[in-house]
Structures are given as structure tokens and as C-alpha cells.
Amino acid sequence: MTLTLVASLTALGLSHVAPARGATLVWSDEFNGAAGSSPSTSNWNFETGGGGWGNNEWQTYTNSRQNSYLDGNGRLVIAARSDGTSITSARLNTLGKVAFTYGTASARIKLPAGKGLLPAFWLMGTDIYSVGWPASGEIDVIETPSVTTSYTNHVHGPTTSGGTWKLGNSGAIADLSTDFHTYSVTKSRDAITVALDGRTVGSYRASQLSADKKWVFNKPTYLLLTLAVGGDWPGDPDLTTPNPSYMTLDWIRVYSS
């Protein structure tokens, strides 16, 4: 039986997106399991294939244990690797299994450093296949294209004329690839807050938008974990890019208030 968490959870405050005092843990994956085993298919779907993924990316996503596996120490590893002729990686999501409308999603992640790498923890509206993108809405909690000495987060939505709008925040920070850090997003009505180790690094509100921009985030969103290689944003990998490169997750959790 799959678990779907689409209840309208009570909105959390915006000053801090760590779980509020009294917050209730409603779902988590602690990645416990035997070394080399698959991440839980009760929680995760594997999106597979190549084709650039809308960004001219180089990798082909697979469901192979070469690209996603438990390490036996309570962690999930997503590995991007090249065999000299092709690059493979993994893209995991919780669509149809885990989603939330209001509350906080947090993940403790060690990000990979390397030219041309784009690791990401992000959210998408569960209506993606009925309304398409950007009407589904997209929330990028953390992305580090090529460089892990800065953080980036974004929200993407539609305009009334059928176009796309984007808001974002970024800033310099100590190298995020040297240790685990906690990346969080809190969704409340008409507001989204992103935090890094409990410090707010992005704040977005419907009231910021001009009349031609739609706020489409007061609805269920699911979780995604990806490690892309190459493409329009991170640029090309080179001989300095580690092969394999690893994005490692200690845990991922969803809280209500």
C-alpha cells in the first residue's frame, strides 16, 4: 500500500524553516537497509531516460544500483558515473507516494563538488501531468551548479499569458561538499521559505508577484532528488570532474506544524 500525504497541514511561521516546536513528523526515509540495496520503492519512483531533460543535460537516468543504492550505514547514495562513452545517474521522486500541501520538508545531504555537476533537492506540483510545467509550480530547495561554495534556490510559476516567471536567491557559503547540511522548505498559504542549516536563505510570497504572474503553490507537491551532469546551466564537465560523483543523503523528512 502506498502512502499519500496530501492533507492541508497547518502553516508554519516564516522566520525559520526548521520544524516548528510541536511539529509532527508525518513521513520520513532514514535510508536504513542492506548495503547495495535499492531505495524503498514504497517511497520512491525512478525516472529513467536521457534526452537532455529540458536543459541539454548529458546524463541518462537509470534505475540501476550503479546509480542509486543504500550504503548500509543509513544513507542513500546517488552516483553519476561515466564509462567513457556515456554518463549515467539517477532521478528519484515521490509522485503518487508522498506529497504535502503545507508543512516543512527537510533533507540532510552531502553534495558533490565538480565542474558540470548539478545536484538538486526540489519539489513539483502533483498535477504536473495534467497541467504541465510551469503551471504545476516548481520549488528548488538547493541547487549547486558546478560550484558548492554558493547556494541557489528558486521558485518557478506560470504567467497569465502562458509564459514562465522565476524568483531566486543565491549567496556565497563555506564549501557544501565537505560535510552534510540540512536543506529545508516550509510551505504555508501564499508563502514559501527555504533554509540552510536552519538559516533562512530564500523567502517568497504571493504578494511579491505582479498581476500577470500566478501563484500556484497552495496545493500538494512531491519531492525529487536528482544529480544531473552537463547542460545549459552547470555547463560541461571536464577532466577534473570526479568520476564517479556522489550525492549522499542521510535522511529526508516531512513535518506538519
The question of whether 47 is a catalytic residue gets the answer no
Q: Which three cell numbers stand for residue 167?
A: 524568483
Nearest CA-CA partner of 100 in 7, 164, 33, 172: 7
- What is the SS3 assignment for 138? strand
Residue owning grid cell 513535518: 255
Q: Which three cell numbers stand for residue 61?
A: 537516468
Question: Would residue 44 be called left, alpha or beta, if left means φ above 0 and alpha means ψ between -120 and 50 degrees?
Answer: beta
Pair 202, 17: CB distance under 8 Å:
no
Burial class (CB in 10 A: 0-12, 13-18, 19+), 82: middle
- Find the angle CA(245)-CA(249)-CA(250) to the nearest 5 degrees: 140
Among candidate residues 30, 47, 57, 143, the one labeled active-site is 143
Answer yes or no: are the C-beta atoms of 228 and 118 closer than 8 Å: yes
Distance CA 95, CA 100 (A): 11
Q: Does the annotation count 57 as an active-site position?
A: no
What cell numbers appear for 242 in the block? Answer: 570526479
Residues with catalytic annotation? 138, 143
